[in-house]
């Protein structure tokens, strides 16, 4: 029996998609008997998944190979298993269906009428499976396309990530982006997030956390504030200044951090102003309303423009980072891999590390409180 297939035989069972009609088949048992046998072994109301298991996936693949190749020996070669294994799988399938699928002689192997019908039905299913597998392989190896769902902290997402998206989407026009700004920890599974940008220290060992750049935080004030009130030079002096705090969406207030004698010290200053938006905190500092501890990516430009000065730079913590997080390195779709590479290069290329640009400490000696 001559067959031709649309896919490479080396691809295995899933590649069995015949493109020519089957050879004539011999007479078969009455349809009524077949129907009765089928109904006994496979209930009418069985769902697709349980029916698929009951009918034996291995048996169906063996059946499709024999029907396509015209012999059990050639089917075994195609599937990479022995002829006897193919025969056992087909016999098991025939038993489960209570139906003879092949008429076998020493010279030929032909489909029964029921086998022909079963083959035509299975052919559609195998075609869909092949298409689904090829689609997944294309997502993994083909041109980048599809949706990426991204989570980022509000400040970093707005200031750093969002401005880069236009350039990324111009480079990859078949990728769609959904950006969620949220300061809460990311739940990758329930929120169906592909990639998350997170700040600080990553303690979750179940995710991959790639550090993009170190995260710098510094105590800042405007020159106008410094002229009126000076700057603190010790943690204890914070109580004499107008402090501005930031409150997370969770309700928790951000604790200021300092590194003193190699140890992290956290401080919750008494604040005259508290905002739940980091941009408002920065705005208040620039207006001279008080002092606040801010991230390097927020203050890099105002520092370069002389709009801010930094206090207690020698106590700035140095063990934080900006991270790009995802669940696994294995089987990453192409769209995720190109996004990670693009964002890594683009963010590292920006002048977001401003610690070396801080004004010298000697110029920060405090003046008397007005």
Q: Give the pLDDT of residue 364.
A: 40
pTM: 0.64
CA-based nearest residue to 156, from 217, 204, 206, 219: 217
250, two tokens: 């969770």
Measured between alpha carbons, how far is residue 92 from residues 29, 68, 142, 166, 341 in Å?
Answer: 19, 19, 38, 57, 50
Question: How many DSSP H helices and E strands does the chain contain?
Answer: 13, 14
Alpha helical stretches, state H, 80-221: 83-97, 113-141, 154-156, 162-171, 188-191
63, two tokens: 């059946």
Average pLDDT, the chain: 80
Q: Give the pLDDT of residue 18.
A: 41
The residues, any chain, with a CB within 8 Å of residue 96's CB and separated by 6 or more, are 41, 42, 54, 55, 56, 59
What is the spatial distance between Cα 271 and Cα 275, in angstroms, rounded to a whole number?
10
Angle between helices 278-286 and 296-304 (to 10 degrees): 30
Q: Give the pLDDT of residue 332.
A: 81
Who has greater pLDDT, 76 or 7?
Answer: 76
How many of the other CB atoms lie within 10 Å of CB of 151? Answer: 24
364, two tokens: 């920060």
| DSSP code per residue over 284-309 | HHHTTS-BEEEEHHHHHHHHHTTS-E
Q: Which domains does the chain have, with CATH numbers?
A: 9-141 (1.10.10.10), 146-207+323-348 (3.40.190.10), 217-320+353-364 (3.40.190.290)
Who has greater pLDDT, 9 or 214?
Answer: 214
pLDDT tens-digit readout, 147-190 = 999 999 999 999 999 999 999 999 999 999 999 999 888 888 88
Element (H or E) spanning 39, and its range? helix 31-41
Three-state DSSP state, 237: helix
Q: Give the pLDDT of residue 317.
A: 86
Residue 109 has pLDDT above 50, yes or no: yes
* Residues 245, 222, 297: CA angle, nearest 5 degrees: 65
pLDDT tens-digit readout, 302-352 = 998 999 999 998 898 888 899 999 988 777 888 999 999 999 999 999 877
In the chain, pLDDT over 70 holds for what percent of residues? 78
């Amino acid at each position: 029996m001559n067959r031709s297939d649309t896919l490479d035989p080396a691809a295995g069972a899933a590649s069995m998609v015949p493109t020519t009609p089957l050879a004539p088949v011999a007479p078969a048992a009455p349809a009524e008997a077949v129907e009765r046998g089928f109904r006994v072994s496979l209930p009418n109301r069985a769902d697709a998944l349980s029916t698929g298991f009951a009918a034996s996936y291995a048996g169906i693949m063996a059946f499709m190979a024999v029907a396509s190749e015209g012999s059990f020996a050639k089917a075994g070669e195609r599937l990479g298993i022995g002829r006897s294994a193919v025969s056992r799988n087909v016999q098991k399938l025939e038993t489960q269906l209570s139906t003879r699928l092949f008429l076998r002689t020493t010279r030929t192997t032909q489909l029964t009428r029921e086998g022909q019908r079963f083959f035509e039905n299975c052919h559609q299913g195998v075609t869909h499976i092949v298409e689904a597998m090829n689609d997944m392989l294309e997502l993994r190896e083909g041109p980048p396309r599809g949706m990426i769902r991204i989570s980022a902290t509000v400040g970093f997402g707005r200031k750093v990530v969002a401005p880069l998206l236009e350039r990324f989407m111009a480079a990859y026009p078949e990728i769609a982006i959904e950006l969620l700004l949220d300061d809460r920890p990311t739940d990758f599974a329930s929120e169906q997030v592909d990639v998350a940008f997170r700040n600080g220290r990553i303690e979750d060992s179940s995710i991959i956390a790639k550090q993009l750049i170190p995260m710098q935080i510094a105590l800042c004030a405007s020159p106008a504030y410094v002229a009126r009130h000076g700057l603190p030079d010790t943690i204890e002096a914070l109580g004499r200044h107008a402090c501005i705090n930031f409150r997370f969406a969770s309700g928790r207030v951000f604790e200021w951090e300092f590194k003193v004698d190699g140890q992290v010290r956290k401080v919750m200053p008494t604040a005259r102003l508290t905002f739940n938006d980091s941009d408002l905190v920065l705005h208040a500092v620039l207006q001279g309303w008080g002092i606040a501890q801010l991230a390097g990516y927020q203050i890099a430009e105002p520092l370069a423009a002389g709009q801010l000065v930094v206090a207690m730079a020698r106590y700035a913590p140095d063990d934080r980072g900006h991270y790009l997080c995802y669940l696994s390195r294995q089987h990453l779709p192409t769209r995720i891999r190109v996004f990670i590479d693009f964002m890594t290069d683009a963010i590292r290329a920006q002048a977001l590390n401003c610690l070396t640009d801080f004004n010298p400490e000697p110029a920060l000696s405090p003046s008397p409180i007005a």
